[in-house]
Amino acid sequence: MKPDPSTVLDGVSATLIVDVIPHIATSYGQQALAGCATLLAAAREEIDRGVARRVEENHALRCLFADARSVVADAELTARLAEAAAGEEGSLLVSDLDVANRALRALLLRLHVHVEGLPGEAARRVEAAIWQELRASTERRRSVLGNF
């Protein structure tokens, strides 16, 4: 048998809520277990969408870098943006995607600082694209459970 992680987490969460919590005498104990059940549901959600979210975000950052290269006035930063824009996911493991995402987000920060110091409409467009991606990134991470 190969247990599906989402099914297992759903089952454990439901068992806690339906079978265990009603038998806990203290409200603190009930609240603690309800919190654990909610965390399990959030983990299940992240397992289901985690790879897709990370791939989507890394792709969006690479596209932003490709578009921003022509505005950048620093040769070394332009080269780093070009290299990042040409990159691809070498692995679909969440841990590897997170390493790539951290590097891309660090480069995004450097790009943001750079374009804030540049004059002109093109720099403002890149800056606006950065803010748009940061908002989109926040939305991608929003849990359907509401509080995570």
DSSP 98-126: HHHHHHHHHHHHHHHHHHHT--SHHHHHH
* pLDDT tops 50 at residue 38: yes
| Total-model pTM | 0.79
* pLDDT tops 80 at residue 54: yes
Q: Could you read off the pLDDT of 66-104 as tens digits, one per residue?
A: 999 999 999 999 999 999 999 999 999 999 999 999 999
DSSP assignment letter at 145: T
Residue type at position 142: R
SS (H, E, C) 44-101: HHHHHHHHHHHHHHHHHHHHHHHHHHHHCCCHHHHHHHHHHHHCCCCCCCHHHHHHHH
pLDDT score recorded for residue 98: 95
Residue 51 makes CB contacts below 8 A (sequence gap 6+) with: 92, 94, 97
pLDDT score recorded for residue 137: 95
Residue type at position 140: R
146 pLDDT band, cuts 50/70/90, is low
**Per-domain boundaries in the chain:** 5-141
* pLDDT tops 60 at residue 118: yes
CA contacts within 13 A on the Cβ side of 95:
0
